[in-house]
Structure formats: C-alpha cells, structure tokens
Amino acid sequence: MVPFLIGLLPYTCLCGYDQKHRNDAGISPAATGPGASGQRVSLLWPLLAGYMISWAAFQLLAVPMILKQQKFHVVATSYLVVSLILALAGIIVYALGIKNGWVSLKTGLSQIKADLIGTSAKQDNGTGNHPGTGKPAGTKTGVRLMMILFWLVFAGLLLFQLYMSYHLAYSDGDDAFYLPVSVTALEADSMYLNNPYTGNTQIIDVRHGLGPYPIWLAYLAKFTGVNATVMAQSMLPVVLIVLTYVVYLEIGRGLLAGSMFKDARAKNEDKPETHKEGNIHAENEGWMLPLFMIFVSALQIFGNYSFYTGATFLLTRSRQGKEALGNLILPMIFLLLLEMSKQIQGNAVAKESPEDMENGKAAGKDKGLWIYYLLLTCTGIAACLCSTMGSFLFVMPVALAALLFAILYKKPLLLVSYALTCIPAGCFALLYLFLR
C-alpha cells in the first residue's frame, strides 16, 4: 500500500502534464476515449513507480549506514519515516490533482474496465457515434465476450503460478546465504558483520553490502511481524510475481496501442466506405492485450528449460534480488524507455503540425519528460539494490537507447540527459570497484 501511495507523486504529475498538453493542442476530452476527463496514464503506474522510488530510497539510506556499520534498527526506522513522508506527499499531491481536475479515480477505473471488457459506444467519444462516419461506435458484444474469455484464461494461469509459488518449496543453494543475512539482521541487529553460514563475526562484506536486498526483506519482516524466512519463501513471491505481470501489462498496452493498429485506424476513420475495416482494427487492439498476457504467462510457465532462465528465477527464486533485477527492473527500464520514446516524438500527446515543428512550438514538445528521467534514475538505483551488477546492467540498455534516440530524433542533447540518469548507478559501480 505504501509504495502505491508513493507512486501517486509521479502519477499525478504525469496526468497533469498529459492533460495540459492536450489542452494546448486543442484536443477535446471526447477525442481521448475512455479517459474522457483528461486522464490517460494507467492507474497501475503508481504501483510500479512507487516500488522504484521506495527501493531507490532504501538503497540511498541503507548503503551509507552499512558502510558505517550502523545497527539494522537505525536503517529500518529511518526508512519507515522516509516512506511515510513520501506516502503522505503522494496523498497530498493526488488530492491537489483531483481538485485541479488532473486525475479521477472513476476515470482510472473506467480505463481498467475498458482494458478488460472493451468500451461502450458512449465511452468511445461521448456521443455513441464514430467521429468519422457518425455510425455507432464501441466494442462489439462478441469481441467483448472474447476479451473476457481471454482475461479469464490469463487469470487462471496467473493464479496457478501464484498457488505453486506459495505452496511448494524449491531448494536453492543461494538461500543458504541470503536468508541468513535477513535473519541475522533481525536477530543480531547487524548488517553483513556475521558470516551467514556460521554466524561468526567477520569484517564487513562490502560486496554484498552494496546490494542490500536481503536487508530490505528484513525490514518487511520487522514491521509486519512475519518471520523473515516465511516472508521470503511464501509472501514476497506472490507480490513480486504480480508486480512483474503488471510491468508486462503496461508494456503490452504501450506496444499494441501505440503503433500496430494506430496507422490503420487513422487511415480508415475518415472514410465511411472503410469504416468497417477501421472498426476491426480497433477491436483487434482490445483483445490483443489479454492474448499478449497469455503468451507471456505461457512463456513463464514453460520456461524452466535451463537453470538460468528468467522464468526459472521468477517462479522458483522470487525472494532473491537477482530475480527482481532480471524480471522486474530490466522490463521496467524497457517500459520507461518505450514511454519516453513516445513522449519525445509526440505520439503520447498529439500529432504536431509542420508549422509548429518549424517554429519549435509543437504542442507537448518533450514537456513532462523530466518525470520519466527521474523515474529512470530511481529505477537505476533500485537495480543497484537488487544486485551489485545492477548498475552495469542498467547503464548498458540506457546508453544504447540514448544513442538510438539521439540519432533517430536528431537530438544529440538527449545523450547528456540520459547520461545524467546513469550517474547515481555509476557511482555505486565505482564504489564497488573501489571497495572490493
């Protein structure tokens, strides 16, 4: 709950910028589909953004205290205070967003409903008619039933994975190291000063101390009253598996709604004689999302063809930081880069006219991009929390994407912007090389 409240901070800002851009571009609420009150950012974004921010905050707090050999309770209490402050700030900003008309809980829920069962004719544009032909719009009943069926299949696959992850035990040698770190932090109130195998005191383990994911797990156990082993083996996998699928859901929404059917729909919506074909493309976009999620779920269930696959880590080693890095952080990086590419080229707001491009006054031109930069920076820091290799695995895709964006959009200054997002993660990498 706390990460969701924290995520309301960037979520509200994104919704506010999105509405302002469309107002500047002269786009009416009726043209925006289910998010008719001006809200097009998914209501699931606060959950993803909140975890990235909260993990980044824990990394920034815990690592200096670990290196100074502070007690565990100092880290836990400090992080609790910071989390509550950020959560309170998220609530306040969200309340301001509601007051200013940026966000609406009803609109967010209607957007989720549209993803699940499609839209009614009234939801499509507020009139019940197609804007180009005047004919009835909305998702057809047959398509809506097919969407519901696909979502039920995906829900069954997801529940199966959650059940197996919760009730079955998987023996893994790394648990003999990481779980005792969490238990020792709770019992001895120390961090990386005891040998996880024997319990004897040792000099500080800097290598693992720079990626204190087990300490975060100990924090969860401390303030929930649940044993650290039970938290790691049974409760945490359920949360992280669901969170992973939320990331894939947003990736699927971005990929399928962003380009695959957009051009065909745009070409046909102004032609009455091809209205039927345009509707087919619009309906395909609806049922493709649950089909995408079924495909991803099937890949995870049948992905145990090797000990090192992401599916193996997701379903059998969900309590480990390296699993969160591979199955949650890296897809989150891809999702942020995908959204940023849309924002840069203006696809997330409105198509810009040649006159505006020439004058440099394009509606929504890169505005609000700083929020994505901050989220990307927090994701890079969160990657360092999950593993000491997280900094390297974060910098590489971001650097590659920055180079491609700079070339494709002819904006070399993007290299500087993305380089700034890599500085915190780069500092942890240098710290690791210096202290190891």
- What are the structural domain ranges in the chain? 2-352+362-435
The confidence score (pLDDT) of residue 271 equals 47
Write phi, then psi, for 132 (nearest 5 degrees): -95, -25
- Of residues 322, 336, 344, the one with CA closest to residue 393: 322
Cβ distance 299 to 311 under 8 Å? yes
User: For residue 113, what pLDDT is reported?
Assistant: 73
pTM attached to this predicted model = 0.83
Segments of the chain scoring below 70 in pLDDT: 20-40, 115, 117-140, 257-286, 346-367
pLDDT at 284: 53
Which pLDDT score, from 0 to 100, does residue 379 have?
95
Identity of the residue numbered 330:
L
Which H or E element spans position 86? helix 72-100
d(CA 369, CA 347): 13
For residue 308, which phi and psi values (nearest 5 degrees)?
A: -105, 10
- The CA distance from 123 to 125, in Å, is 6
Cα–Cα distance, 7 to 86 (Å, whole number): 9
CA distance 244 to 224: 22
Crossing angle (nearest 10°) for helices 330-345 and 369-386: 170
* pLDDT score for 380: 94
Phi and psi at residue 129, in whole multiples of 5°? -120, 150
Q: Measure CA of the first residue to CA of the last residue in the chain; give whole Å.
A: 36
Alpha carbon distance 44, 245 (integer Å): 11
